[in-house]
């Protein structure tokens, strides 16, 4: 497959599109960070989520990355409110029933707090409520899916950072930065 690929670390609060015509007050978009004509996002990342976005200038590659039928895996680091128990993790691993249907099985594991950049604004901190980190990998991409899955098992999402799409990894790419990558993954 031909085409060029651009990896971008989307900061919190940035829309995963180049324009925001529907809002009466302008919100930050990709156009504030990416000045590469002909590149379009292959999939979306919520405004309140951070991390890896893959952009390409090749329509068929864009479709292959974003179409759920190809089951491209996406990995997220997820800070949740509460303490994940085995039952919650098992439910995520088997798939959960959301309003739009049952999710595919996910990979879900507790992890130590990752070494990430500070978020602006910071995640709220509550002394009386513990939080924990999970690494979750899904192979579909419904609207706000990971957030809805963790909420379904009693673990509201505080912070969501996508670190991998297929073979493309965020690695040490700083928030707001981008780099070119191989079209086959890098």
| Catalytic residue IDs | 46
Of 85, 90, 40, 43, nearest to 64 by C-alpha is 43
Burial classification of residue 115, based on how many CB atoms lie within 10 Å of its CB (0-12 exposed, 13-18 middle, 19 or more buried): exposed
The CA-atom distances, in angstroms, between 81 and each of 127, 129, 137, 153 are 11, 7, 19, 11
| 80 SS3 class | strand
Burial classification of residue 65, based on how many CB atoms lie within 10 Å of its CB (0-12 exposed, 13-18 middle, 19 or more buried): buried
Instruction: Please state, in angstroms and rounded to a whole number, the distance separating the CA atoms of residues 84 and 121.
Output: 25
């Amino acid at each position: 497959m031909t085409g060029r690929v651009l990896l971008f670390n989307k900061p919190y609060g940035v829309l995963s599109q180049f324009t925001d015509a529907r809002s009466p007050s302008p919100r930050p978009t990709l156009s504030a960070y990416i000045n590469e004509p002909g590149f379009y996002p292959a999939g979306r990342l919520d405004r309140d989520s951070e991390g890896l976005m893959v952009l390409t200038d090749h329509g068929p590659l864009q479709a292959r990355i974003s179409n759920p039928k190809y089951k491209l895996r996406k990995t997220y680091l997820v800070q949740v409110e509460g303490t994940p128990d085995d039952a919650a993790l098992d439910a995520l691993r088997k798939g959960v029933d959301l309003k739009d249907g049952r999710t595919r099985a996910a990979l879900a594991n507790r992890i130590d707090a990752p070494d990430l950049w500070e978020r602006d604004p910071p995640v709220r901190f509550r002394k009386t409520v513990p939080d924990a980190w999970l690494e979750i990998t899904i192979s579909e991409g419904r609207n706000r899916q990971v957030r809805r899955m963790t909420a379904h098992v009693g673990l509201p999402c505080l912070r969501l950072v996508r670190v991998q799409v297929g073979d493309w990894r965020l690695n040490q790419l700083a928030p707001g930065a981008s780099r070119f990558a191989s079209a086959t993954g890098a």
